[in-house]
Amino acid sequence: MSEGSAKKEERCRFQAIKGVRDILPPESALWNRVEQSAREVFATYGFGEIRLPIFEQTELFARSVGEHTDIVSKEMYTFLSNVEPGSSEQSVPTSSLSLRPEATASVVRAYIEHGMQMLPGNVKLYYVGPMFRRERPQKGRYRQFYQIGAEVLSHSGGLIEDARVDAEVIEMLMAFLAHVGLTQTTLHVNSIGHSAPECRRGYVARLRAELLNVKDQLGADSQRRIATNPLRVLDSKLPSEQETIAKLPHIADHLCEDCRKHYAELRAQLALRGIAYEENWRLVRGLDYYMRTTFEITAMGLGSQNAVCGGGRYDGLVELLGGPLTKGIGFAIGTDRLVLSVQETALQGARKVEAESGLAAYVAWMGDAAYPTAVRIAQVLRKAGLRVELPAGDAKLGKSLGLADKLGARYAVIVGENEVASAEFVVKRLADAEQKKVREGELVAAVSGK
């Protein structure tokens, strides 16, 4: 071998490792546009960005995602660090750290660490960045992949328990997907109840018993899950198991009264927002922290890895990680899969929105009959690129205006019974209390004034 070719060989020796890849121009421009669209649409719903560390204590993921889940038991990149958590001293290697396989756990850790329960209203955060799972690589499945995620958290006593919050989070997600031109999607929803004996725990016991009866018809993975996590058997895609799984009992028939009501309310709220969905009783998700609402979005043309987004409610996770009584809900979109399914042309007309420039309007609604109109008004204003806060529950006008002021809203749009009847709404500028009555078609102009 000549000296020149030996040198060349040396130069080419390095390649990206299995399951990770470079994103080159012009594709990287598409990624930027997708991420920028998320920032803009999420801002209209009042979300702010949180930038999180890439690695955390392993224990954080074990406790939240769940020790027995595939993610934690098989897929994490874990290493020992010689730095004790919380100290800058170099000491013996006692601390196990992991590259983040997902970001909800980190958001919850940050929420607790920074005392965010003291903030007014619901805390709404989004994140954009890489996650790491040691999965078998294939189209749409990588070991370093990217997510765009959003989370809403609020201390108990806030309004976050309301299924209106679940529906608004899903509405934002659908608005973003529509914004980037991804319309050929299916939204799957389910409720997995909560962990009490009269709810999910009772169902899991029943499911386990039924699964033991049909054990011989299941593959090795599902057989193992009967003991560790029987709900995950429902997730199986193995063709040979489908007939058996189809005959298993449905969780919807075993929900407690409160969870059943919450699920019914979620469906009603999605309908109110004009969001089409399919109920999917097998949607249990692969992370342990969920309760009640779970959802996923599948898109066409992605082959077997067709889930572009997954999410759900995780009331109780904050307490589990040592924080105050708090409820939460959120989702994460797989950016790699999203980009795969988005047509570049669909993005070209994407409008620029101004939502980063502060809260434009607080929709103060009064009485349940006014809520559907309030939802519509918020949608119209957000579509125009304005950042809007729509509370999940109503309050007396004075209280609403107080909260609107605390949140820094420029305007309050008042929606009560009379306004709904007359289709004229009071728009109040909070800086000087000047107010005027406007028709729905004039709201965007009225609220756009700085």
Task: Work out which of 45, 61, 331, 411 binds ligand HAM, going by CB under 6 A.
Answer: 331
**Contact set for ligand HAM, span 91-150 (CB under 6 A):** 102, 104, 133, 135, 140-142, 145, 147, 149
Nearest residue (CB) to ligand HAM, 202 versus 286: 286
* Other CB atoms within 10 A of residue 320 CB: 13
Residue 292 Cβ vs ligand HAM, minimum distance, rounded to whole Å: 12
Q: Is 66 in the site for ligand HAM (CB under 6 A)?
A: no
- CA atoms of 411 and 404, how far apart (whole Å): 8
Task: Work out which of 332, 381, 412, 427 binds ligand HAM, going by CB under 6 A.
Answer: 332
CB burial of residue 49 (10 Å; 0-12, 13-18, 19+): middle
**Contact set for ligand HAM, span 296-315 (CB under 6 A):** 307-312
- Binding mask of the shown chain, residues 333 to 372, with x at each position contacting ligand HAM by CB under 6 A: -x-xx-----------------------------------
Task: Work out which of 330, 385, 391, 416 binds ligand HAM, going by CB under 6 A.
Answer: 330
Residue 233 Cβ vs ligand HAM, minimum distance, rounded to whole Å: 17
298: Cβ contacts below 8 Å, ≥ 6 apart? 185, 186, 188, 306, 307, 308
Residue 341 Cβ vs ligand HAM, minimum distance, rounded to whole Å: 10
Nearest residue (CB) to ligand HAM, 299 versus 415: 299
Nearest residue (CB) to ligand HAM, 144 versus 217: 144
Residue 370 Cβ vs ligand HAM, minimum distance, rounded to whole Å: 30
Q: Counting runs of H as helices and runs of E as strands, what totals does the chain give?
A: 17, 16
- DSSP-assigned beta bridge partners for residue 299: 185
Residues near ligand HAM (CB under 6 A), total: 25
Nearest residue (CB) to ligand HAM, 109 versus 337: 337
Which bin fits 200, alpha (ψ -120 to 50), beta or left (φ > 0)?
Answer: alpha
368: Cβ contacts below 8 Å, ≥ 6 apart? 394
Nearest residue (CB) to ligand HAM, 312 versus 385: 312
For 392, phi and psi rounded to 5 degrees? Answer: -75, -25
Nearest residue (CB) to ligand HAM, 297 versus 374: 297
Q: For 318, how many CA atoms within 13 A lie in the half-sphere containing its CB? A: 25
- CA atoms of 137 and 159, how far apart (whole Å): 41
Indicate the residue type of 85: P
- CA atoms of 357 and 385, how far apart (whole Å): 10
Residues at the site binding ligand HAM, with contacts judged by CB under 6 A: 102, 104, 133, 135, 140-142, 145, 147, 149, 151, 286-287, 307-312, 330-332, 334, 336-337
